[in-house]
A and B are shown apart, each in its own frame.
Chain A
């Protein structure tokens, strides 16, 4: 059981972005990926979820042994992969509650519906944990939300959908310190031995709140260094250029 990325190559027309990326996330682990702008961090999250802008040219992604690269975006989600978006989309006219219900219902056999009472009970308790006002249930998904509210909403979805593997794409961007604490608390509450996390971030700050087990440095489409959480502190201090000087031994 693991999310296993093997020698992954992906491109947009005319430019290769991921150049042989290897990474294995076991349930219970929190991995952080750090790296400079343009290193391929966000591309990695989108490729894993099957965004059609990217073409996978070689490699494998195994979710608990199943190759998901041939699966549609929604099938990957239902298989247990979740992405907390860096820029969550607005869905005008669709309430948060309806969206979540539809997402949960999509996981049930055709014709079955979720138990509404149980659903709202769960929804409210998780919103309370994220200090979200109840009015968010009836507001349109992300429409008119502040940056922080959108990120909280992503974590709310994570908490409701309970994926096996969650990718957090720059969840800290646009958050003030209070919101960062609340969001991190939500994520930490979801940490479990059955769930793996991939936390993509530009800054070390987030990792003070969501403590990773393993830190990777992504550069030019490959993981060039892997270490414990102390690596993130080192990066904060020395910057990404310093990684250049290291041999590429950490990959694989």
Chain B
């Protein structure tokens, strides 16, 4: 065994406050899968993680699917072709187990999460926290009162080892390996992410949170999250993500599966703030059984390219699916986001509200899919997508695909594009606001009705992030 080198002290106190996520510590990885992805990479990861055989096999099969599947550039942006899979490392860790106390977390990692405010948030309003640093969780803790209710909140490795009876039943069932090229990639090399199980009737009062931090350059992060809310259970899960700005591209490709059993409710909140060279290609889907609710509240800021279309399969009668999304695309960024709503039972309801903001040469794309088959009745969908353009060279596109068969359903689609006018900014500035403040206020106003859907602490964070984005966009 090689001992990990002493953590290097690195003073981050002089970092500009307006760039909270943009700092990095030297790597001290004990395990590094090296560049590129082959079956050897898979075995390396499985060895390091001590995977059971069925997972090793699952990974190998997934690698084959990943290698066989073409890039989806027949409909998606050509920028995907710039992803050089041989130039990433697929697994990096310091070989330490996740700690239950922040005091035990290595100093540099602890400083990282301190800087991002995670321990503070945990004390204030969270029921549990998992903090992932590159490939593995550095910290994972659930409050005793929540654990006593039988709630399981661990990382995916622990989940599959310690709770195989629940894990195996649902893992890869909501999003099959072959769903798309990147779900296959994730299935091959996944590491970290959360496994949550909420027993029947348990309503978790405070949110559970995971934070995903990339620290290393030329690296891909592939967390895998599986959340199961048993009958009548309720849980809110929140995730945040950041990465420093490197010279080279970074890949983040997660798979998130949600299962809401009869009468259960899962709310999944994301506030991501990736640096502008991250390819963020994420597959997220939930299944809602009878009378269950799956709600995605999704906020995408930063990244070079984000492709993410949270979906809900409404499998049981009266199930409800919701996607509330905010995307902000600055120059050099493309937010290609949307929602998939698949109605698979009578009297199911789906609601999609999407707002995007394009700044400078930023591009925001909305892709929506609503599917209601002919044999059902009483299904309802409402889709609203609004785009705000800040500059004259900002861009937005909308690709809604609504397939409704049968005549016993109701669907509604509204879309709008608006611009922050020079006169609006003049009006605000005449009251003493700087141009950036005037822009921020206008943009925050535009998303205000959606921001209210976020937990208060996150809507404050959201506002702060928007203020930072707007600061750089004017003048």
Option from B427, B428, B432, B445 in Cβ contact (under 8 Å) with A78: B432
B431 in contact with A77 (CB, 8 Å)? yes
A 73-105 contacts with B by CB, 8 A: 73-74, 76-78, 82-83, 85, 88-94, 98-99, 102-103
A52 in contact with B431 (CB, 8 Å)? no
Option from B431, B433, B434, B447 in Cβ contact (under 8 Å) with A93: B447
Q: Mark each residue of chain B from 52 to 94: 1 if its CB lies under 8 Å from any CB of chain A, else 0.
A: 0000000000000000000000000000000000000000000
Asked if A168 lies at the interface with its beta carbon under 8 angstroms from chain B, I say no
Cα-based distance from A85 to B428 in the complex (angstroms): 11
A99 in contact with B431 (CB, 8 Å)? yes
State the Cβ distance, A68 to closest chain B Cβ, in Å.
13
Asked if A161 lies at the interface with its beta carbon under 8 angstroms from chain B, I say yes
How many residues does chain B have at the interface if contact means C-beta atoms less than 8 Å apart? 24
- Assuming A88-B427, A91-B424, is B432 touching A74 (CB within 8 A)? yes
Option from B427, B430, B433, B448 in Cβ contact (under 8 Å) with A102: B433
A92 in contact with B445 (CB, 8 Å)? yes
Chain A residues with CB under 8 A of B424: 89-91
- Assuming A89-B424, A106-B434, is B429 touching A77 (CB within 8 A)? yes
- Assuming A51-B426, A88-B427, A89-B423, is B433 touching A94 (CB within 8 A)? no
Q: Mark each residue of chain A from 228 to 240: 1 if its CB lies under 8 Å from any CB of chain B, else 0.
A: 0000000000000
Option from B428, B432, B437 in Cβ contact (under 8 Å) with A91: B428
Chain B residues with CB under 8 A of A157: 431
Cα-based distance from A249 to B37 in the complex (angstroms): 88
State the Cβ distance, B462 to closest chain A Cβ, in Å.
13
- Assuming A89-B424, A106-B434, is B445 touching A73 (CB within 8 A)? no
State the Cβ distance, A81 to closest chain B Cβ, in Å.
8
Cα-based distance from A93 to B447 in the complex (angstroms): 7
Chain B residues with CB under 8 A of A91: 424, 427-428, 441-442, 445
Cα-based distance from A28 to B449 in the complex (angstroms): 44
Cα-based distance from A86 to B345 in the complex (angstroms): 55
* Chain B residue at minimal CB-CB distance from A167: B430
Q: Is the interface of A mostly helix, strand, loop or mixed?
A: mixed
B445 in contact with A103 (CB, 8 Å)? no
* Chain B residue at minimal CB-CB distance from A91: B445
Option from B427, B432, B445 in Cβ contact (under 8 Å) with A106: B432
Asked if A107 lies at the interface with its beta carbon under 8 angstroms from chain B, I say yes
B432 in contact with A99 (CB, 8 Å)? no
Q: Mark each residue of chain B from 433 to 466: 1 if its CB lies under 8 Å from any CB of chain A, else 0.
A: 1110110011011111100000000000000000
Asked if B2 lies at the interface with its beta carbon under 8 angstroms from chain A, I say no
State the Cβ distance, B188 to closest chain A Cβ, in Å.
43
Asked if A248 lies at the interface with its beta carbon under 8 angstroms from chain B, I say no
Asked if A177 lies at the interface with its beta carbon under 8 angstroms from chain B, I say no
Cα-based distance from A51 to B432 in the complex (angstroms): 14
Option from A74, A76, A90 in Cβ contact (under 8 Å) with B433: A74
Cα-based distance from A83 to B448 in the complex (angstroms): 27
Cα-based distance from A161 to B430 in the complex (angstroms): 11
Option from A77, A82, A93, A107 in Cβ contact (under 8 Å) with B449: A93
A94 in contact with B441 (CB, 8 Å)? yes
Asked if A140 lies at the interface with its beta carbon under 8 angstroms from chain B, I say yes
State the Cβ distance, B333 to closest chain A Cβ, in Å.
23
Q: Mark each residue of chain A from 149 to 163: 1 if its CB lies under 8 Å from any CB of chain B, else 0.
A: 000000001000100
A73 in contact with B449 (CB, 8 Å)? no
B444 in contact with A94 (CB, 8 Å)? yes
A106 in contact with B437 (CB, 8 Å)? yes
Asked if A72 lies at the interface with its beta carbon under 8 angstroms from chain B, I say yes
Cα-based distance from A89 to B427 in the complex (angstroms): 7
Chain B residues with CB under 8 A of A89: 421, 423-424, 426-428
State the Cβ distance, B359 to closest chain A Cβ, in Å.
17
Asked if A49 lies at the interface with its beta carbon under 8 angstroms from chain B, I say yes
Chain A residues with CB under 8 A of B427: 85, 88-89, 91
Asked if B144 lies at the interface with its beta carbon under 8 angstroms from chain A, I say no
Asked if B145 lies at the interface with its beta carbon under 8 angstroms from chain A, I say no
Chain B residues with CB under 8 A of A82: 430
Option from A52, A90, A94, A107 in Cβ contact (under 8 Å) with B432: A107
* Chain B residue at minimal CB-CB distance from A53: B422
Chain A residues with CB under 8 A of B442: 91, 94
Option from B434, B441, B446 in Cβ contact (under 8 Å) with A74: B434
Chain B residues with CB under 8 A of A103: 431-433
Cα-based distance from A140 to B441 in the complex (angstroms): 12
A93 in contact with B432 (CB, 8 Å)? no
Chain A residues with CB under 8 A of B444: 93-94
B430 in contact with A73 (CB, 8 Å)? yes
Cα-based distance from A102 to B429 in the complex (angstroms): 11
B422 in contact with A52 (CB, 8 Å)? yes
Cα-based distance from A178 to B207 in the complex (angstroms): 52
Which of the listed residues B422, B426, B438, B449 has the most CB atoms from chain A within 10 Å of its own CB? B426
B433 in contact with A106 (CB, 8 Å)? yes
Cα-based distance from A77 to B427 in the complex (angstroms): 11
Chain B residues with CB under 8 A of A78: 432
- Assuming A99-B441, A102-B441, is B446 touching A93 (CB within 8 A)? yes
Cα-based distance from A99 to B424 in the complex (angstroms): 13
Q: Mark each residue of chain A from 109 to 138: 1 if its CB lies under 8 Å from any CB of chain B, else 0.
A: 000000000000000000000000000000
Cα-based distance from A106 to B430 in the complex (angstroms): 11
Option from A72, A88, A94, A161 in Cβ contact (under 8 Å) with B448: A94
Chain B residues with CB under 8 A of A77: 429-432
List 7 additional contacts besides A89-B427, A92-B446; criterion CB under 8 Å: A52-B422, A72-B429, A72-B434, A73-B430, A91-B424, A91-B445, A161-B432
Could you give 28 example pairs across A and B, Cβ below 8 Å?
A: A49-B426, A52-B426, A72-B429, A73-B430, A74-B430, A74-B432, A74-B433, A77-B429, A82-B430, A88-B427, A89-B423, A89-B426, A89-B428, A90-B424, A91-B428, A91-B442, A91-B445, A93-B444, A93-B446, A93-B449, A98-B441, A99-B431, A102-B431, A103-B431, A103-B433, A107-B432, A140-B445, A161-B432
A residues sitting closer than 8 Å to B (CB atoms) are: 49, 51-52, 72-74, 76-78, 82-83, 85, 88-94, 98-99, 102-103, 106-107, 140, 157, 161
B residues sitting closer than 8 Å to A (CB atoms) are: 421-424, 426-435, 437-438, 441-442, 444-449
